[in-house]
Amino acid sequence: MAEDLILKSLEKLQKIGNESEKKGDEKEPKLIFPSYSNGEKRISEQEARFLFVRELENQKDEDFYYSVETPTILKYRFSEVRGKKKEHPEINKETGESGKSDVCIYDENFDRKHLIEFKALNKNSFDFKKDFIKLKYDPKVSNEPNYFVHILKSYDAGTVKSLITKYNAAFDVPVDEKTKIDNNIEKENEIIVFLCVLEVPETYKDNYTEPLKFGKKDITEILTKLTHNL
């Protein structure tokens, strides 16, 4: 269910209008991208998350629950004491703080089933790692995958190259065995990425036709197709 709803919401995201062009869908969704004071369209993860939550609410016959801004079970440390960012985020039950997951889907018994993080634009590597460490290690009963939903405004060959590097680093964010023992981490959760491009360059119109879905082992193969000559 979760993957179908992610795809459905991303398909709708690609169709929404924006304030600066005074363009929107007359039927649905009524949601549009707002504009900055200079007229540039503002793209954030909020639109994607909102559309996904709306799809969840439309599932009247499904037996599940969900929450937003869900506190994590583990405690994480994303910066040094003086605010300087670390190379890698870390799990630390002594000095860390509870993080938040954008959306959590629960089963009928209120057990956490899927954690979902939304990210917009090509952020720095550390931002990717912050989401992936939560998705990969935060405990849950279910063995179902967690999801990273990524929204890009557009891309070129340089974007693709940087994303391959950042995704690989995020999937492999280091957590040592002592930390796993200290925090009772018994398993690693599977992570699946959905990548949605809003404005595909004319040169690559045939390369990207729908949101992409991939796991760690498929990163390079899937992403290089975005700019490969067909």
pTM, 2 dp? 0.94
End-to-end CA distance of the chain: 33
Distance CA 18, CA 35 (A): 7
| CB count in 10 Å sphere of residue 6 | 24
Position 205 scores a pLDDT of 93
Backbone angles phi, psi at 12, to 5 degrees: -75, -35
Position 83 scores a pLDDT of 57
Q: List the domain boundaries for the chain.
A: 2-224
Position 84 scores a pLDDT of 63
Closest C-alpha among 99, 94, 217, 200 to residue 155: 200
pLDDT string in tens for the chain (230-residue length): 999 999 999 999 998 988 877 766 666 788 999 999 888 889 999 999 999 999 999 998 889 999 999 999 999 998 755 556 678 999 999 999 999 999 999 999 999 999 999 999 999 999 999 999 999 999 999 999 999 999 999 999 999 999 999 999 999 999 999 999 999 999 999 999 999 999 999 999 999 999 999 999 999 999 999 998 74
- Taking the CA of residue 80 as centre, how many other CA atoms within 13 Å lie in the half-sphere pointing to its CB? 6
Three-state DSSP state, 230: coil
| Beta-strand pair 146-152/97-106 | unpaired
Position 80 scores a pLDDT of 57
